[in-house]
Amino acid sequence: MDLFPLWNSLRIALISSIIVFFSGIFCAYYIARLPKLIKGALDVILTLPMVLPPTVVGYFLLMLFAPATPIGSWVYENWALKLVMNWQSSVAAAAVVAFPLMYRTARGAFESFDVTLRYSAQTLGLSNTYIFWRILMPYCKQGIIAGLVLAFARGLGEYGATSMVSGYTPGKTATISTTVYQLWCLNDNHGAFVWVMINLAISAVVLLAVNLFEKRDKETRAKAASVGVRG
């Protein structure tokens, strides 16, 4: 059994999750502080990949980065690199479709942050960088982790956009989702079922790990609160 689709899917999901984590948090943090009108307009633009069919997202990416387009041809002429039909383009497609999940979840977490904590920290002379990483991020930790898990799961199971920009080449661009479809087309239902179960197992393990983490975090906070009350 060729395990390349498993390795490739995990690689794509992991790298796209890292990209989405930082870009989603960055956009959510700054957009949450903008006026409502500007925030609403940017929300529509950044959330579009979540409501559009994945194949439509893949089509737009092809129109931007295919070798016949200005961007794609310029990159190929100068660096001899193709921006589509490789596993790296799958990372870009997965990041685009997963970004709204991280962005919306993180923005909601940031908007629920008690701003009086920020003001108190500023009066103590703490820098904005310190406030962000040591106060804001721990406060919004659960929401951010939830967004990251959703982004990872989306990247792991993505089919429509990745199949458009990367196709299906065994040993090069094959993922779990594209492999399931190809095996089904070949009437290999047993092989397709095996890959479906592998995908389900990975998703279940990730969700269980997150649930255990959240449970432990709640227990830690409850103990800290009880100690504070006794004190």
Res 20: pLDDT: 94
- The span from the CA of 211 to the CA of 166, in Å, is 33
The chain-wide mean pLDDT, for the chain, equals: 85
Look up residue 172 and give its DSSP letter.
T
Per the structure, how many domains does the chain have? 1
Residue 226 is assigned to a structural domain of this protein: no
Q: Each residue of 1-27: pLDDT tens digit?
A: 788 989 999 999 999 999 999 999 999
- On whether residue 231 sits in a domain, the answer given is no
Compute the distance between CA of residue 3 and CA of residue 119 in angstroms, rounded to an integer.
Answer: 52
42 assigned to some structural domain: yes
Question: Tell me: the pLDDT tens digits for 179-213?
Answer: 998 999 899 989 899 999 998 898 888 888 777 77
Contacts 24+ apart (CB under 8 A), 1-7: 1/194, 2/170, 2/171, 4/170, 4/171, 4/174, 5/174, 5/175, 5/176, 5/178, 5/179, 5/195, 6/176, 6/198
Residue whose C-alpha is closest to residue 121's, from 148, 141, 139, 94: 139
Domain assignment present for 224:
no
Structural domain includes residue 205? yes
Asked if the model's pLDDT at residue 230 lies above 70, the reply is: no
Does pLDDT of 215 surpass 80? no
Question: What's 126's domain CATH number?
Answer: 1.10.3720.10
Range of the domain at 98: 4-219
Residue 86 lies in a domain: yes
What percentage of residues in the chain have a pLDDT greater than 90? 19
Note the pLDDT tens digit of each residue in 59-83.
Answer: 998 888 888 888 888 888 888 788 8
Is position 183 within any domain? yes
Q: Which residue has the tokens 């977490």?
A: 109
Domain assignment of residue 103, yes or no: yes
